[in-house]
Chain A
Amino acid sequence: MIIRSSNQMPRITLLKRFPVPRNLGVNPQSRIERGRKWPAPSGAKRIKIFEIYRYDPDSGRNPYIDSFEVDLNDSGPMVLDALIWIKNKVDPTLTFRRSCREGVCGSCAMNIDGTNWLACTRYISDTATLASVYPLVNMRIVKDLIVDLKHVYAQYEMIEPWLQSKTPASGKERLQSTDERRKLDGYYECILCFCCTSGCPSHWWNGDRFLGPAALLQAWRWLTDSRDEAKGERLDNLEDPFRLYRCHTILNCTRTCPKGLNPGKAIAEIKREMIARRS
């Protein structure tokens, strides 16, 4: 019942999805249809079924759900291994991003059994009997599990994620004390997988104007950097009913972060900074 870290699996199985109609507010071209079944190659002994979201932009079809039989004796232990196994052995057209396969690049972020996580750090044994794999929620789909990150990257760019200083460069490093450096812990580790922004209900409804937890965590990472000298301008840029204050502290972001970071706390720190500079 009590979750201590974000990598703990949800234990309450009573309500696996919100009781809303499947096509509530979904535009016609995004409605999901039934796809086909892909049987495992003959000789497979330990079979698990993965239901995977597919979309082929060239077919003119709507997105659909294919179900794949995966031979667990032949595939690696992670969900990403299963996807690679499917691509190698069953359907080479299955499309997804992956790179590091160890949770440092953030490429394989997707929705597994209803929550966002990295496919490379989620054990197959931790997934439901009928595992479901969707792309990151609430994003435009390029193909299959690949989402268009253009919008969230633009939001990241909006917070100007680089060191801004007015004092001229001294020709040496800009030094920090150990305590000053420690303030970046828990924020600099963000890998920009956008699991949090994709899982934020506030971003679902107001994603065009609300920056979302990933960008705001980065905003705090620069606000709290002792070497940065653009604090006032950064806060001015965020002082907006939507950009910052559409965060209603739902905290789905902190629950879902595959790196165990705390975007919710970062946003609260920004809000407190806004109040502190007024008084």
Chain B
Amino acid sequence: MSNSAVEQRRPKSPNIQIYRPQLTSVLSIANRISGVALSIAAVGLMIWLIAAASGPQSYSAVQGALGSLIGQIALLAMTFAFFFHLCGGIRHLAWDAGYGFGLRAIYASGWAVVVASVLLTAVAWIAALFMRG
């Protein structure tokens, strides 16, 4: 038996610093990041609603901010985060029900989530631009 002082001095091998990013881990962390982004988006939605309720002046100020280039980019990112988190959530739901655990299914569903969230974001924005007229 080695003593614990020796064990404490032992270095730890690196983990995230060297482990290869794979679809599995990248989508998992992306799902978390999109979740955090959506929490921030929820605050933004509240600000927009409060502004709308408190009068035309504050509402037009918020609308102006959202209409700026940075506002539009933020909106686009939030739309993507919404659809990505939604599709990823459905994927996790299938797993929790016990389906889709073959490696092939893991990868196919993973890429499907990426493609579907990009497409849904595009459809949502095209629809929004048409409705604006």
Contacting pair A4 B104 (CB below 8 A): yes
The chain A residue sitting closest to B101, CB to CB, is A265
Contacting pair B12 A138 (CB below 8 A): yes
Within 8 A of B (CB), among A73-117: 111, 113-115
The reply to whether the CB of B22 lies closer than 8 angstroms to some CB of chain A is: yes
The reply to whether the CB of A217 lies closer than 8 angstroms to some CB of chain B is: no
The reply to whether the CB of B28 lies closer than 8 angstroms to some CB of chain A is: yes
In this complex, which of A21, A53, A137, A139 has the most chain B Cβ atoms within 10 angstroms of its Cβ? A137
The chain A residue sitting closest to B23, CB to CB, is A3
Contacting pair B101 A268 (CB below 8 A): yes
Contacting pair B10 A148 (CB below 8 A): yes
Contacting pair B24 A255 (CB below 8 A): yes
Contacting pair A55 B11 (CB below 8 A): yes
B15: contacting residue among A137, A140, A142, A251, CB under 8 A: A137
Bound form: Cα–Cα A262–B104 in Å: 12
Q: How far is the CB of B25 from chain A (nearest CB, A)?
A: 5
Range of interface residues on A (Cβ < 8 Å): 35 or more
With A5-B103, A264-B101 in contact, is A136–B13 under 8 Å at CB? yes
The chain B residue sitting closest to A260, CB to CB, is B103
Range of interface residues on B (Cβ < 8 Å): 35 or more
Q: Which residues of B contact A141 (CB under 8 A)?
A: 10-13
Q: Which residues of B contact A169 (CB under 8 A)?
A: none
Bound form: Cα–Cα A150–B4 in Å: 12
The chain A residue sitting closest to B32, CB to CB, is A248
Q: Which residues of B contact A142 (CB under 8 A)?
A: 10
Among the 9-residue stretches A27-35, A152-160, A174-182, the one with 4 or more Cβ atoms under 8 Å from chain B is A27-35
Bound form: Cα–Cα A268–B99 in Å: 9
The reply to whether the CB of B59 lies closer than 8 angstroms to some CB of chain A is: no
Contact with A along B87-107 (1 / 0, CB 8 A): 000001001111001111011
Q: Which residues of A contact B19 (CB under 8 A)?
A: 17-18, 111, 114-115, 137, 199, 252
Q: Which residues of A contact B15 (CB under 8 A)?
A: 137-138, 201, 204
The reply to whether the CB of B21 lies closer than 8 angstroms to some CB of chain A is: yes
